[in-house]
Structure 1
Amino acid sequence: MQRVSPQSVSLSFMADFHTDASGVAMLASSYFWGYTLMQIPAGLLVDRYGVKRVVLGSLAASTLGSAAFALAPSLLDVFVARLIVACGDALVFTALLKLVAQSFSDQRFGIMSGISQVSGYVGGVLATTPLAAAVSGFGWRACFIFIACVGLANLCLASMTLRPDPAARNDRMIGSVIVSARRALAQPANWGCAMSFASHFAVVTTLSGVWGIPMVAHIFNMSAATAGAPLLGFMVGNAVGSIFLGHIADRMAARLDTALIRICLLRMLLIAILLPPLCHVLGFLYVGSVFTVLGLVAGGTVPLVLKCTKRLYTADLIGTGASVNTTTAGLFAGISQPVIAFAMVAVSQTSDGTAPGGVSAVTDTGFGTLIGILLLMSLPGLIGPMMMRSKLMVHS
């Protein structure tokens, strides 16, 4: 929910702070930078201190950051607040993977990690049409105060329900974890895994979490709440795809690399057919259908990458492996956001020099540029699986 919420609050956010598309890009990139900065520490902390303590710290930071974001008086305060939120959120994904790896066998890891992602996709669903409608009715600040309250409730529940890690786990020295991590990072296959995830994460999050709703709202000249419907379909597709392909991943053995290449090509095709001229001709239902299928593909990609991560790093160092993947993904996504915003606005102003500032300044040509950049950002997703191939065959 935190990651994909900027698109649902972008119009209100720009009006309150008198900013334009660059402000939305700043809002998105601040989250990616915070998420990235905490990833390597996240893996080391989870592998050293266990799941429960890390999750409690994570929820506390996310709750405080959400409240600070709601009360932020300036763009600098917004940046800092979102940075705090992201630093907290960065710990959850790694802790979740560690918990699943410890609790289930390799034969069930794919399906269980896929099912575990579903709750995250529920948050993504809430961040589309429901959040956009709530923002229009109550304002974005009131919505994020409520989100902070939900975070506080989650913190209390987690403190009561999560079991402490075994003492043997907590006795492991942080130095030994770092040494093991350095050895793992010397393997090209592990960087291939990181490239695969980074390409998927940056592309999908940019479309579904930053520019999806503004693009649909522009193409069909509708409100953000109505334009959120295709993104709602995307999130539902994510949940279904994560379970279905998580089940498939457990049965693919040495063919994981081939599956990742094919699913990357399919994702590129689906993004390409979202070009504005096609959307204008084929209509809103077409766009909703493409986003839903894209959600199935995106949700299914995550269990495949996680299965590769488990194979390459083993359950003992999966926290470190997840951190490497998400650090690479966060860097890629964070660096790309200002570049994408600049390119979209520049191309739009070239094609229509009278365009006003703000998201309205982005024309069909600008959103077409977005699609082209996303296709270029997808290319590492084709190279990464090839780098993993020989190592995955050894571990199958």
Structure 2
Amino acid sequence: MDKQNSKYRWVVFGTVLLSYFFIVTQRTAPGLISDQIMKEFHVTAATIGLLTSIQFFAYAGLQIPIGILSDRFGPNFFLIVGTFLNGVGTIIYSLAQNEAILLVARLLVGMGDATIWVNIVLILSGWFKSKEFVGLLGIAGMSGSFGFLTATVPFSAWIALSGWRTPFLIVGLILCLCGLLLYYVLVKKSRELFSSYSEKKVSSERIQDKDENLLKRLFSNRQAWATFFCHFGLVGTYVGFIGSWAVPYGMHVYGMTRSAASQLIMVGLIGAIIGAPLTSWISGRFSSLKKPYIVVHMIVFLSWLGFLLFNGKPPVYLLIPFFFFIGYGNGASALTFAVVRESFALKEVGVISGFANTGGFLSAVLLPSLFGKILDHYHLQASVIGYHYGFMIPVLFALLGLMGGVLIKEKSQRDKRTKEISS
């Protein structure tokens, strides 16, 4: 039975999306309790920024190695192990008694999370035809956005009802169960259904030379750097801010309750949910990835600039659209991997996807810590001043993202048809 024509591929797709949904909740859920962690553990804003950054530092640092290993050995093992690591880290976080344990827990979550998206891209590439890939990538991005959405008002209400430890403990256990489900679906059942099933096996004789040549091409390739900067500008600014300072921003600057601030963030997540499938559809409708992507980058840049121009406190009637468009950009960032899939050979998609993802989460590493240092510096003044100067960071990062969009070199229709035949 051919995997790409089997009905079972939809079981794989649904299982992967379910796991991704729960994993993504743990990227931003800690941002809901930043102020509680500061009070309970007596830590500064810079420490909260470090807790967020260490997670994304592990994520960013492992992207290229995971991409290389997944291209070589196949994506299933790394996706399963990463899901378990995410679950274990979340459980430890829920039981932590000091900031050192919190740090270790977020490091484990980041290491687990690092394996997820690259291997989802590879799994979708293996189980689905090239013409299905862009649309399904948009749906996968939408699943992640629903995960972000769950980590706002629903998770905030759960925290208010039971305290912060119980929700994290239960989600950690669910993630461990997802790891078991992935093993059953991707490995055990696949071996029963497909006699030709196998993970990639590569002899060790040419591995070093092959990887060195690949990395040389990677770091000298304009298209790879374009995808890196695209993700740097869209994903890191959104994830870094949402996962650390968005809820405190609503509470401190606008005097909102935690629930109200979570609802504000939910506006951005609605934008992200819409952004993934809609932008994928638009790019397909106009047979272009670059043009709609540049428009998205421009809108996100102008939205972050709006926070800065209004001295960190735009009026509410603009605040809501700003968050919506920033979230939309995060959802639309799925186009980064459509560019990768279109531009590179399938055997290189893993490592190039990892490189692009590194850009997004490198900025997610930098933003929370830099933002936290600025807030600490202006601690004795009105809180809005610190946020005002803090917004210079996402403005600069979004500008780099726009430059990445401009750098994308789009293939001609003839080249696309040739690649489709070879795939």
Tell me which residue corresponds to 2:91: 67
Aligned length: 382
Counterpart contact for 1:311–1:395, Cα < 8 Å: no
Kindly indicate whether residue 314 of structure 2 is the aligned counterpart of residue 290 of structure 1.
no
Tell me how far 1:36 sits from its aligned partner: 1.7
- Matching of residues 1-396 of structure 1 within 5 Å: 1-163=25-187, 164=190, 169-173=199-203, 175=207, 178-179=211-212, 181-185=214-218, 186-253=220-287, 255-275=288-308, 277=310, 282-283=315-316, 286-300=318-332, 302-349=333-380, 352=381, 363-389=383-409, 395-396=415-416
Tell me which residue corresponds to 1:359: none
Tell me how far 1:278 sits from its aligned partner: 7.9
Counterpart contact for 1:69–1:77, Cα < 8 Å: yes
Find the residue that maps to 1:201 and give its secondary structure.
helix
How far apart, in 1, do the equivalents of 2:305 and 2:415 lie?
A: 35
Counterpart residue type for residue 388 of structure 2: G
Find the residue that maps to 2:27 and give its secondary structure.
coil
Counterpart residue type for residue 236 of structure 1: I
Shift in alpha-carbon separation, 1:306–1:83, aligned structure 2, 3 A: same
Query: Mind listing any 5+ residue stretches in structure 2 that lack a counterpart?
Result: 1-24, 417-423
Shift in alpha-carbon separation, 1:232–1:200, aligned structure 2, 3 A: same
Shift in alpha-carbon separation, 1:279–1:195, aligned structure 2, 3 A: closer
Counterpart contact for 1:39–1:323, Cα < 8 Å: yes
Shift in alpha-carbon separation, 1:257–1:75, aligned structure 2, 3 A: same
Shift in alpha-carbon separation, 1:346–1:137, aligned structure 2, 3 A: same
Find the residue that maps to 1:19 and give its secondary structure.
coil
How far apart, in 1, do the equivalents of 2:155 and 2:299 lie?
A: 29
Counterpart contact for 1:216–1:227, Cα < 8 Å: yes
Tell me how far 1:267 sits from its aligned partner: 0.4
Counterpart contact for 1:111–1:303, Cα < 8 Å: no
How far apart, in 2, do the equivalents of 1:121 and 1:390 lie?
A: 27
TM-score where L is the length of structure 2: 0.83
Cα deviation per residue 1:242-299 (whole Å; 9 max; x = unaligned)?
A: 011112233444x43333322111001122334595886733x653343223322321
How far apart, in 1, do the equivalents of 2:403 and 2:313 lie?
A: 33
Moved more, 340-349 or 18-27: 340-349
Moved more, 274-283 or 216-225: 274-283
Counterpart contact for 1:62–1:85, Cα < 8 Å: yes
Counterpart contact for 1:113–1:303, Cα < 8 Å: yes
Shift in alpha-carbon separation, 1:113–1:281, aligned structure 2, 3 A: closer
Shift in alpha-carbon separation, 1:169–1:316, aligned structure 2, 3 A: farther
Shift in alpha-carbon separation, 1:376–1:161, aligned structure 2, 3 A: same
Moved more, 116-125 or 172-181: 172-181
Tell me how far 1:334 sits from its aligned partner: 1.5
Counterpart residue type for residue 391 of structure 2: I
Shift in alpha-carbon separation, 1:394–1:323, aligned structure 2, 3 A: farther
Shift in alpha-carbon separation, 1:318–1:214, aligned structure 2, 3 A: same
Counterpart contact for 1:8–1:213, Cα < 8 Å: yes
How far apart, in 2, do the equivalents of 1:374 and 1:281 lie?
A: 16
Counterpart contact for 2:312–2:391, Cα < 8 Å: no
Moved more, 217-226 or 255-264: 255-264
Counterpart contact for 1:276–1:364, Cα < 8 Å: no
Counterpart contact for 1:70–1:141, Cα < 8 Å: yes
How far apart, in 1, do the equivalents of 2:236 and 2:313 lie?
A: 26
Shift in alpha-carbon separation, 1:348–1:395, aligned structure 2, 3 A: farther
Cα deviation per residue 1:371-390 (whole Å; 9 max; x = unaligned)?
A: 22211111211222333326
Shift in alpha-carbon separation, 1:199–1:14, aligned structure 2, 3 A: same
Find the residue that maps to 1:210 and give its secondary structure.
coil
Identity %: 21
How far apart, in 1, do the equivalents of 2:314 and 2:111 lie?
A: 42
Shift in alpha-carbon separation, 1:173–1:181, aligned structure 2, 3 A: farther
Counterpart contact for 1:184–1:313, Cα < 8 Å: no
Tell me how far 1:220 sits from its aligned partner: 2.2
Moved more, 257-266 or 172-181: 172-181
How far apart, in 1, do the equivalents of 2:211 and 2:153 lie?
A: 43
TM-score where L is the length of structure 1: 0.88
